[in-house]
Amino acid sequence: MDPRKLGFPDQILSPRRRVVPGFGLGISISLIFLSFLLLYRSSRGNYFFPVYYRSTPVDSLFSSWCFSFSSPSLSDLTSKSSKFPAHAAPTPPVRPIPPQMASPSNHTLNTNGSFKLNAHPPNGSGIGNGSIPTRGKLGPGKENEERTPSNSISSKNDTTLYQEENIHSSNADDKNASEGNGGRNSSERIQITNNSQPMGASNDSFDEECDIFDGKWVRDDSKPYYPPGSCPYIDRDFDCHLNRRPDDGYVKWKWQPNGCNIPSLNATHFLELLRGRNLVFVGDSLNRNMWESLVCILRHSIAHKERVYEISGRTDFKKKGFYAFRFEDFNCSVDFVSSPFLVRESTFERDNETMETLRLDEMDETTEMYRDADVLVFNTGHWWTHEKTSRGENYYQEGNHLHPRLKVLEAFKRALTTWGQWIDNNVDGNRTLVFFRGYSYSHFSGGQWNSGGQCDNETEPIYKEAYLGKYPKKMRALEYVMGEMKTRTSYLNITRMTHYRKDAHPSIYRMEYKTEEERRASVGVQDCSHWCLPGVPDTWNELLYVSLLRMANKFWRD
C-alpha cells in the first residue's frame, strides 16, 4: 500500500512506521496533543479549569447556613462566557435565599435591591469572635463566609439585636463603605431607611413571642436618651438633675428581658410611625411622668426644637386638663389627658347634702378628647386607695345607687369593666392601637406619702427577686377585664420591673432648696412614687416602642 494514500494517523501507525524515528514519533504525538489542547481552550474561554477558577473574594454568609446548594454545571457556567470581556471575571451565580429568610417578615429589601443585616447586640457588646449568634446558628467566623455582592439580610426571628452591617464584594465597594461612615466599622452606626422598610419594621430584630417585661436590670454606662437637665418640659418635681441630686447612678441601668434582646428606642423611627397620627396618654400623674419622658426623647432627635411645642403654650402640666405636643415636621402630636380614675368623678345629693362620688358605671367626660386617637396609653390605680376614696364609704356610685361601703378592689374592677366596655363600643380596633400600662410601685419606707415615708437614702436598686413583693391584686383584676374585651389591647406590664428600682424616685429632690431649713423640712415630705427624668419612664417608653412595632407591623398597613 502506498503510504501517501493513508491518512495522517495511519501513516504513523502503518507497518512501515520504521521510516519515522522513535524520537520524531514522540515529538509528533506531543505536537498533535498540544494542538488539540490549544484549540479546545480557545473555544471554551476561561472556564477550561473551572475547579481552580475563582472570581473576586466572597465570604460565607450563605455557605455557613445549615443547608447546601447544588453546584452549577460546567455547561451552565460556560454557556454565557461570550458575554464577558476577555479579562473580566463574571459575577458569581446568585445563590437562592433559604426559605426561612425569604419571607417578607424576615428581611428588609432596600430600593437598590440589597438586604439589611442587623449584626450586633445592644450596649455595644459586639460579637468578638466573628460569629453571629442567632436562633438558627449561622456557623463560625467570617473567613469561611460566602455572600452575594452588596447584599445583606435581616432576620426578624433572631433573638439577638443586630445593628446594620453592609456587605461588599469588591475593594472599591469596601472603600466607599468605609468613607461613608467616617472610616469606622459599619457596626458602629444605626440607620433607619423608612422609605424602604415595611410599616412597623425597625433596623433591629427581636423575637415577637418574647415576654419583654420578664427580665432584669443590668448596668449600662451609655448616655440616656436625652441629657439630664436638657428638656424644658419636664415637671420640676421630676427633674432630679436640676434639683441637684448628687448621684447619677439611677440613669445607668438598662432593662434586659430574659428571653431576648430588644431594640433601643429610635426616636426618628418612632416619629415616622406616628407621622400623621396622634398618641394620647390617659390617666394619672404617673402617666404624665411617662408622657413627659416620651416628649423629651422625641424632641431630642429634632434639629429645630422650635418646631416642637405644646399647642396652648403651657409649660405647667399639673392641672387636670388636656395637653398636646405638636411635632410639626412629622404632622403628629403626643398628648396627655388627666383622668386619674378613668371613670367620672361626680356628686350625689342626699338629705340636702352634696357628696363627692365616683361613678363606677360612667367614663370620665374627657373621653371626647381621645376617642379618635391613633394610639391610646391608659393607666389608673394610684388614686385607688382608701385615703383617696374615703375608705369606700358612701363614695362609689352606680346609677342612682350610692354604695354605703364597697371594697376598693371590687370598685376598681367595676370601673375597669366600664372602661373595657367603652373601648369595645367606641374605639375602632382596626385603626387605633390600645395599650394599658400596669401599676408602678412606690417605695416609701417608714410611712406613706403623707406620713413621713422616705426613700432619699436609696441609691441602688433591689438586686434579689426574693425581696420583691407580690403581684398586685389590682393588676390581676386588670388582666381579667382585658381578657373579657373584644378590642385588641396590649398590656404594658411594668409592675415588676419598677419594683426593683427603689433608687430612682425624686424623694427630696423635687425642688432646689434655697436654705438648709427648707432642705431639712423636705425630708418629711418625699416623693417615692413618681420617677426622676431621665429615668425609669424612659424604659417604659422603650417597651412601648417595641410593643408599638409589634402591633403596627400587623395592623397599620399604610
- Annotated catalytic residue, options 364, 527, 529, 547: 527
C-alpha cell at 119: 449584626
CA distances from 340 to 164, 355, 360, 381, 501 (A): 42, 19, 13, 8, 23
3-state secondary structure of 426: helix
CA distance 237 to 435: 26
Which is the catalytic residue, given 285, 293, 333, 529? 285
| No. of helices (H) and no. of strands (E), the chain | 12, 15
Please give the full DSSP string across 58-91, using - where no structure is assigned: ---TTTTSSS--PPPPHHHHHTTGGGS-TTPPPP
The C-alpha atoms of residue 262 and residue 137 are separated, in whole angstroms, by 19
Beta-carbon contacts of 141 under 8 Å, excluding residues fewer than 6 positions away, are: 129, 130, 131
Q: Mark whether 530 is an active-site residue.
A: yes
499 catalytic? Reply is: no
| Max Cα distance, the chain (Å) | 146
∠ CA 472-475-479, nearest 5°, is 145
Name the residue type at position 40: Y
492: three-class secondary structure by DSSP: strand
d(CA 290, CA 537): 5
Catalytic residue among 293, 530, 538, 547: 530
CA distance 233 to 150: 44
User: Cell triple for residue 237?
Assistant: 418635681
b/e per residue 245-277 (b: at least 16 CB within 10 A): beeeebbebbbbbeebbbbbbbbebbbbbbeeb
Given the C-alpha cell 461588599, which residue does it identify? 168
Cβ contact 504:539 at 8 Å: no
What is the distance between the alpha carbons of residues 399 and 394, in angstroms, rounded to a whole number?
A: 14
Among 556, 544, 558, which Cα is nearest to 263's?
544
The H-or-E segment that residue 215 falls in is strand 215-219
Three-class secondary structure of residue 270 per DSSP: helix
**Residue 285 among the catalytic residues:** yes
The residues annotated as belonging to the active site are 285, 527, 530
